[in-house]
Amino acid sequence: MLIDVHAHLVSPGMLNRHAFWGPFMKMQGLTVGHFSLGTKQPTKAASDAEAEANLLARMTHAARIKLMDARGVDKLVLSVPSHAFMYWAGEFGNDYARICNDELAAFCRVMPDRFDFWAHANLADPAAAVVEIDRAVRVLGAKGLCVGGTNFDGIQTYDERLFPVWEKLAELDVPIMVHGFNQSIYLGERHHEDRFETTSIVGDCVDETLFFWYLICGGALDAFPTLKSYITHAGGMAVFQLGRLSELNGAMAPDARNQRPLLDYMPNFYFDLDVHHPALRRGVVEVVGTDRLVYGTNFGGAYDHGDLTAGIGLSEADREKIRSTNAIEMLKLDVGGARAVAA
């Protein structure tokens, strides 16, 4: 069985919800306020309407199932695209969280054996986020909460104003999915100063590393020791710099509030193998261990590296842990009706 826990959904109801913030799908790319996610490649659409139609055509149940079957994926766990987290959008950020959760839940209800979802909440407003997380999990069936790494409109992950959010997640016993986002969106009309899409391409990994560092250093895992997090893109840079973070947490971060050595918190984290070379994946396995790895690929996104568990020296039992068993445990998934695929 193969469960991919890192996939994004854009539905018709998630687009064109605000006159300024959108989000809109335009010829130049997904557009939120002044920000557009685009490249210098020629546009693949002749109009904004065609660009939106092209995007939504890839997001239907039929299109997703076709690609899932081609890649042998039994279940996807869907989340809001990080460019549309709306932490910066004031009260609309709260409205949009409710919209997204309703849309994600409706999509998954059509084929619950193939789809589940991560909730969205506006962490720039922690009190409202707590209410929406509770609704998304208890009423709509969300399996956890997707967050944007750090900087929720000025509130950083270490900020104790977020403790009620972590407390709610611990109470519900659901994990966090961590996915960085385009911090250049805070530049407004100056977003073009983010050369080469750096706050997405490099910045996502920075955000994810900061989440790991800030959650530990801020003392959240001492206050809420059962809180679990899954960090995408193999943990950003956290796994690859784990020794440095561990040693310097004690030697150079005297204001850190963690009560135990940094490595003692590793059981609170899951990671994936979404890096671009088998040698790096082998390294992640050796550092993290197979009990804390899940399968996440940014399914249907900009790249496809094939089976992330192939060719890295795993036993069949360890491959199965990464491909499905750990995700079933982490997210408490019901896979009784899912179709079986040989590993």
Distances (CA, A) of 215 to 173, 207, 231: 17, 12, 12
pLDDT of 119-150, one tens digit each?
A: 999 999 999 999 999 999 999 999 999 999 99
Give the pLDDT of residue 143: 98
pLDDT digits (tens, 9 = 90+) for 41-65: 667 789 999 999 999 999 999 999 9
Where residue 302 falls among pLDDT bands split at 50, 70, 90?
Answer: low
Which of 97-101, 166-170, 192-196, 320-324 bottoms out in mean pLDDT, i.e. has the lowest?
Answer: 192-196
Which secondary structure element, helix H or strand E, spans residue 108, and what is its range? helix 91-110
Using the structure block, give the residue that is written with the tokens 């983010």: 194
277-297 mean pLDDT: 97
Question: Binning pLDDT at 50, 70 and 90, where does residue 341 land?
Answer: very low
Q: What is the pLDDT of residue 337?
A: 52
* Rg of the chain (C-alpha set): 19
Of the candidates 298, 238, 226, which has an alpha carbon nearest to the alpha carbon of residue 267?
226
Percent of the chain scoring above 70 in pLDDT: 96
> What pLDDT, on a 0 to 100 scale, did the predictor assign at position 216?
98
* Residue 66: pLDDT over 90: yes
- What pLDDT shows up at residue 39? 64
Check: CB of residue 197 under 8 Å from CB of residue 40: no
Q: What is the mean predicted confidence (pLDDT) over 233-261?
A: 96
Could you tell me the residue ranges of all domains in the chain? 3-7+60-331
Over range 156-161, report the average pLDDT.
Answer: 98
Query: Cα dihedral sign for 134, 135, 136, 142?
Result: positive
Which letter, b or e, does each residue of 26-45 get, where b requires 16 or more Cβ atoms within 10 Å of its Cβ?
A: bbebbbbbebbbeeeeeeeb
pLDDT band at 317 (very low <50, low <70, confident <90, very high): very high
> Is the pLDDT at 294 greater than 80, yes or no?
yes
Q: Which residues contact 254 (CB under 8 A, 6 or more apart)?
A: none
The arithmetic mean of pLDDT across residues 154-158, rounded, is 97
User: How long, in residues, is the chain?
Assistant: 343
Q: Is the pLDDT of residue 167 over 90?
A: yes
* pTM of the predicted structure, to 2 decimals: 0.94
Q: Domain 3-7+60-331 belongs to what topology?
A: TIM Barrel (3.20.20)
Predicted pLDDT at 195: 85
Average pLDDT rounded to a whole number, residues 328-336:
91
SS3 37: strand
- On the question of pLDDT at 90 being above 60, the answer is yes
282 pLDDT more than 50: yes
Say what the pLDDT of residue 41 is.
63
Under the banding of pLDDT at 50, 70 and 90, the label for residue 273 is very high
Which residues make Cβ contacts (< 8 Å) with residue 328, sequence separation at least 6?
A: 3, 335
- What is the pLDDT, as a whole number, of residue 42? 67
